[in-house]
Homo-oligomer: A and B are copies of this chain.
Amino acid sequence: MMPSKIDVAILVGSDSDLPILEETTNTLESFGVAYDITIASAHRTPDKVEKFVQSSLEKGAEVFIAAAGMSAALPGVVASKTIKPVIGVPIQGKSLSGLDALLSMVQMPSGIPVATVSIDKTGAKNAGVLAVQILSLKYKELEEKLKSYKEKMSDDVDLKDEKLQKMGIKNYITKK
């Protein structure tokens, strides 16, 4: 993968969502996947969304990730402009526990899917992993990395469990 080329194009509806999306960019970086990230709003800068989608396609983007809160139209608007897979990350706002963004994203009409993942940080990381899984169809070196990633996740759980078995639940909670 050359630096001038990108594999994943990321859009966030507001710069307040960037700390959440850092989970996505960290994940992509750990897999060596090139990305662009932009702040662009489906409602405030619709033309910019369209231009970013086009320029990303020209740079070779194969997967889009869009994160937004409330009436989270961004991933759907991106999906309306491309035939590439679009992943949606619902961001929890101050009201309604994230249900608004989740339903706005996942309930897309027939023919224009958005691949919706979990709310907030967990979803942001999972958007990165899902993008890598999709890219691995084309870039076989990512398959091995995904297998290692999966093993590492499993090993991390095992390590924590070993610690729990040694320390017992009371010490584990206190000393952690």
**Contact pattern, A 13-34, Cβ under 8 Å of B = 1, otherwise 0:** 1110011011001000000000
**Interface members, chain A 120-146 (any B CB < 8 Å):** 120-122, 125-127, 129-130, 133-138, 143, 146
**Known contacts A62-B137, A71-B76: does B39 contact A153 (CB below 8 Å)?**
no
Q: List 6 A-B contacts (CB under 8 A).
A: A22-B170, A70-B109, A84-B133, A96-B99, A101-B107, A112-B126
Q: Which B residue's beta carbon lies closest to that of A94?
A: B120
Which single member of B22, B73, B100, B127 contacts A77 (CB below 8 Å)?
Answer: B73
Known: A115-B115, A137-B134. A81 touches B46 (CB 8 A): yes
Contacts of A121 in B (CB 8 A): 94
Chain B residues with Cβ under 8 A from A153's Cβ?
44-45, 111-112
Given contacts A44-B111, A106-B71, A117-B113, contact A95 B94 (CB under 8 A): no
Cβ–Cβ contact A122 & B150, under 8 A = no
